[in-house]
Every structure is written in C-alpha cells, then in structure tokens.
Structure 1
Amino acid sequence: MTPAEMESRIVRYGDLMPCKTAFIDAHTPGSDQKENFTIIGGGVSESPDQHVHIAEAHGFNIGAAGQPPKCRNSLHSHRTAEVFFVLSGRWRFFWGRHGTAGEVTLERGDIFNIPTDIFRGFENIGNDYGMIMAVLGGDDAGGGVIWAPQVIRDAADHGLVLAETGKLYDTKKGERLPEGVAPMPVMSDAEADAYPAPTTADVIPNYVARYWDIVALADRKPVKVIGATGMLRDKPGFEVDLITRASATEAMHRHDRQSVLMPVTGHWRVSWSANETYRAGTTTLAPGDTMSVPAGLDHSAVPSMTGEAALYHIIGTDDAAGPTWSAS
C-alpha cells in the first residue's frame, strides 16, 4: 500500500464550503443569511446541497455555523449532545419553548454543552460575521433536528416544506413532495410545551465553561472540559480537552480511535510518524482549521509561533450519545 497524504484529513477554514439552504428556516426573515458547514460526519443538514468534507464516521459529527450580525438560528432540539465553541464573534444562546426560559452570551473560546431535549437557538449579536464550531453526538447525530412547531409553520409561509424523509422542498421553486411521501409530522403545541425549560441558573454552572477559566487551569497539563471527570461533567459520547501553550508537549502519543484537533487561537505545528498507511510529516493548523488524526498514529501538537495559543481536542468514547439534560 502506498502511504497516504495527511492533507486529505485536514479541512482548512478557507476551504470550508457553506450551505445556505441547510435547514427549514433558510427562507425565514432573520434566519435567511446563515451558513452551515458539515466538516466531519454526515451532520444533520436537511438539504442535498450540503457539502460533507470528511464523511468517515468518528462516533461524533463536527460542523459549524457562520452568521452575519443579527442573524439567528431558529429554535430546535436534538436527542444527542450538541456542543458549541465560539471561534469568532459574540453570540447569544437562548432556550425554552419560545426561547425565553434562559440565555447566555458567549465569546471566543467559550464552550457550551447544550442539554439534550430542550429547544435552543442562537444569534450573532456582534458587529461582524461570526463563526461557531459544533460537535454533535453519535454518527447519525441523533436522527436529525426536531423543530419547534412555530418554526415549521413560519417556514411554510416562506415556501419550505420538510418531508418525513428529512429532506427539504421549496414550493416557491415549484418543488412538491414526491408521491407517497408525507410532510414531517409537526408536534402539537401541547407536546412542545412539555419540553424542559431550565433556567439560566440551572444551565450555566453545569453546561457552560469560559475560555479564560479553562486556559487558567491548563497551565501544566491539558484540561478535560467535557467528560465524566471534566469541568462540565457529562458523558455525551465524546470528550473535549483544551490544550494550551503551557500544557502542550513535543512527546509523541497515539489514541485507539480517531481524534480531532481544532485550534481556537494561535498556530499549531502538528507532527506525526510514519506507519504503513501514512508518511511522516508536519503541518500547521490555524484557528478554524479542523484535523482528523487517524487511530493508532503517533503524533504531537505544539504552538508554532509566539503569542496566545489554544486548541480543542475531541475524541469519541463508548458512552451513549445522549441524553444529557437532567433537572437534578
């Protein structure tokens, strides 16, 4: 076997291919300027136009959302974990049946392990285009998105209909549901009202970690941000660590499954040894780049320039991908 090139496992920020029609709210005013990205795994897009950069199953999905100021993502829910960290911009996350149960504002590097089975949305409240990176639990991301009923009703007013197959159809373009395919069932208002609506005080201490708090703890070794023993104690089917300049090491190491490197700040030099599949090599990752490291490959990651440097490291676990919300 000829050794493969590692570049095929790296998705550069500048090469990300957005989809502007990924979800049912793509035509709804206030949500119609957002861009969605599927970086690793199949994601949860409802559009056949969504480009998948790395389709290989990792036990979790990596995606992203890019939005101009005042653009919002509509209220929805997932059955598996949805974790966001802010790459750029200033973001308000809100949740509850009508998005009024609680909210939190996040900035660069902050991370939010959004509880499963609650309605949530988010908007860019900064002055420039912003990007948030996402980790979704499971290879099938829980079977897709569960929309609040008002979102589906609003979308229909603007021509978009979601089929029971999870595919979008644009009636303003003359598209119709295929014969024998029904619309996606819309939950009743009573069913939606029964969803949990935790308060801000319920959520922030257990599901939000601030970037500078994590960095302060990563002065000697990487910090486990999400995991059974993490700052945010949870077992969503993957673990998230933060590595900083102070806790990075040149020592080579390996994992028994694929892992993912996602810089938040600084430039990182990633080196790896040769094996029967991959040539030895070195590359540099910048904020917004995503690298999938193969299982069993000896590698290291260290900052390559002076200044602030931190990256998130994600690896799957054998834990179930959800649920994660608990009123306790």
Structure 2
Amino acid sequence: MDASTLEQRIVRYGDLVPCRTAFIDAHTPGSNQKENFTIIGAGVSESPDQYVHIRETPGFNIGAAGQPPRCTNSLHTHRTAEVFFVHSGRWRFFWGEHGTDGEFIAEPGDLFNIPTGIFRGFENIGDDYGMLMAVLGGDDAGGGVIWAPHVIEAAREHGLVLAENGKLYDSKKGEQLPEGIKPMPLLTPEELKQFPVVHENAVIPDYVARYRDIEALARQAPLRVLGADGWLKDKPGFEIDFLQRGQVGLGDAYRTDRHEILMVHRGHWRVTVDGVSATLAPGDTCAVPPGSERVIEPTMSGETALFLVRNTDDPAGPTHVD
C-alpha cells in the first residue's frame, strides 16, 4: 500500500459531504436543518443526493448525523443494529411510537446501542452544532428505515412522499409518483402492536456506555465496549473497542483477517498500514483492510480516544445477548 492508497481509505472530518434531503422529514419543521453523512457503505438514505465516501461495506455501515441546536431526527426504526457515539454536542434520545416510552441525555463520547425493533429519535439539546457517529448493522443496513406513521403523514403535508420502492418524491420540485408506484403504506394498528415497549430502566444499564466510565475501565488495556464478550453484550455483526493513550500493547504491530474501522474521538493518532503512515485527527475515519499489518498509536500527550469497529461472523440482526 502506498500513501495515496491509504489516504483514499481515510475520510477526513473536514471533507464530509452532507445531504439535507436524505430522509422523509427533510421538509418537516424542526427536522429540516439536519445533515446526514454516509461515510462507509450505502447507508439507508432515501435520496439520490446522498454522497457516499467509501462504498465498500465490511459487514456494517458507518454514517453520521449533524444537527444544529433544537433540530430533531424523527422517530424511526431499523431491522438491524444502530449504535451511536456522540462526537460533539449534547443529545436527547427518545423512543417509542410517539417518543414517550423513555429518554436519556448523551454527552460527548457516550455510546448508545439502541435496542433493535423500537422507534427512536434524537434531538440536539446543546448550544452548538452537534455530530453523532453511527454504526448500522449489515451490508445493506437492513433494507432501509421504517417510519412511525405520524412522521410519514407530517412529511406529506410538507411536500415529501415516500414511495413503496423506498424512494422520496418531492412535490416542491414538481416530482410525482411514477405510474404504478404507490405511497409507502402506513403501519397498521395491528403491526404497531408488534413493536415492544421498552422503558428507561431496561435500557440505561444494558445499552448505554458513558464516556467517563469507558475511560476509567480502559486505562490499562483496550476495552471491548460492545460485543459478545463486551461490556455491552450484543452480537450485531460487529464489535466496538475503545483505545486511549497509556494502554498496554498500544502501538504494537499486528494483523487480522477482519475489517477494522478507526473512528477518532479525541486527540491525534498515527495509523501505519503495511509500513505506510498517516495521521488521523478528531472526527476522521479510516478503513483498514483485512490481512494488512497495522500499527495504531496516539501522537500526542493528553486526552486521546478512538473507537475501533471490527466485523464479526455473527449475522446482522436483533441479536441482543441477555
């Protein structure tokens, strides 16, 4: 691997290309200022305007949501895992068909493995633009997004119609559903009853990892934050480790037959792949291919933090381990 090839496998935070028409709530007041980013894999965008930085999927997708203060991402669900960590900002997560089943406040560095099969939304409640980084299970991210019925109805009032083929049509641009294509049907009351009601006391202990707790537990060695043998026990087709300066073995060369995605949260890091090095800054993402020799090490003193996402042999899906 040469330097240019390695650089092609790095998505710089400052180079992220946003899409403001990615989903059905793009015109709905309160949600119409959000920006969506597809970093690795095709993601779940409903818009052809979505830019994809790295199309290769390692068994999961990496995306991000950027939102100004008081901007909300509407209630939806996925068929596979959705795991967030807060890169910046202060966020309120809420869930349930109407967002009333539970909520919690997430700070920078917090990780949330949202239970599969529940409607979820999130709002930037901080004072500045905030960024959430997301890992979605599966190469095709489970076949798209399932929206709460009231979200689809509100979108229609503001000119956006989601078709049964999963594509958005914008009447403000003069677009109409093609002949023979029907609108996406709303979930029926009977179908909605199949979605579980999950309250806060069942979510916080088993699905949330607070950044300060992660730091404390990972002082001596890399910490498996999420995985079959992780702090948060799950098998969604990937696992997530946390790296920081001072850990035993950090900076040693190793090989693996797995895809590894490096997502920098704090500090600057050097990644060396088959003898070629590059420096990663906060918000940068690097896709390290299987079989290559790699060295991962911080390049500065002070606070450093990096989330490493690795594919596993587990099928993507609702596979939470109790």
Q: Is structure 2 residue 206 aligned with structure 1 residue 206?
A: yes
Matched residue count: 321
Moved more, 171-180 or 56-65: 171-180
User: 1:268 is aligned with what amino acid?
Assistant: W
Once residues 70 and 129 of structure 2 are traced to their aligned partners in structure 1, the CA distance between those partners, rounded to angstroms, is: 10
Paired with 1:11 and 1:169, the residues of 2 have a C-alpha distance of 30
User: 2:77–2:147: 8 Å Cα contact kept in structure 1?
Assistant: yes
Deviation at 1:171, TM superposition (A): 1.0
1:257 counterpart residue number: 258
- Cα pair 2:11 2:285 within 8 Å, conserved: yes
Report the Cα distance in structure 1 between the residues aligned to 2:259 and 2:315, rounded to whole angstroms.
17
* Structure 1 residue aligned with 2:297: 302
Shift of 1:258: 1.4
CA contact (8 A) 1:224 1:231 kept: yes
The RMSD of aligned alpha carbons is 1.5
2:252 aligns to what SS in structure 1? strand
Maintained 8 Å contact 2:238/2:314:
yes
Contact 2:162 2:169 in 1 (8 A): yes
Give distance in 2, aligned partners of 1:98 and 1:145: 16
Contact 1:252–1:298 (Cα < 8 Å) also in 2:
yes
Equivalent position SS for 1:39: strand
1:176-218 Cα offsets, whole Å, 9 max, x none, are: 0111211112112442244112000000100000011011111
Post-superposition shift, 1:47?
Answer: 0.2
- 1:1-328 matched pairs, under 5 angstroms: 5-247=5-247, 249-273=250-274, 280-324=275-319
CA distance in 2, matches of 1:170, 1:3: 42
Runs of 5+ unmatched residues, structure 1: 274-279
Give ranges in structure 2 of 5+ residues lacking alignment: none
Q: Which moved more, 1:66-75 or 1:244-253?
A: 244-253
- Letter matched to residue 37 of structure 1: F
Query: Is contact 1:117–1:325 with CA below 8 Å preserved after alignment?
Result: no
8 Å Cα contact 1:115-1:324 kept in structure 2: no
Identical-pair percentage: 65
TM-score (norm 1): 0.95
Q: Structure 1: how far apart are the matches of 2:53 and 2:3?
A: 21
CA distance in 2, matches of 1:2, 1:110: 35
Distance 2:32 2:188 in 1: 25
Distance 1:312 1:2 in 2: 24
Would the alpha carbon gap of residues 13 and 4 (structure 1) be closer, same or farther in structure 2, given more than 3 Å must change?
Answer: closer
Cα distance in 1 for residues equivalent to 2:3 and 2:128: 42
Counterpart amino acid of residue 310 in structure 1: A
Q: Quote the Cα distance in structure 2 between the aligned partners of 1:172 and 1:268.
A: 45
The alpha-carbon deviation at position 265 of structure 1 amounts to: 0.6
> Could you list the runs of 4 or more consecutive aligned residues of structure 1 that deviate by over 4 angstroms after TM superposition?
1-4
- Mapped contact 2:2–2:276 kept (Cα < 8 A): no
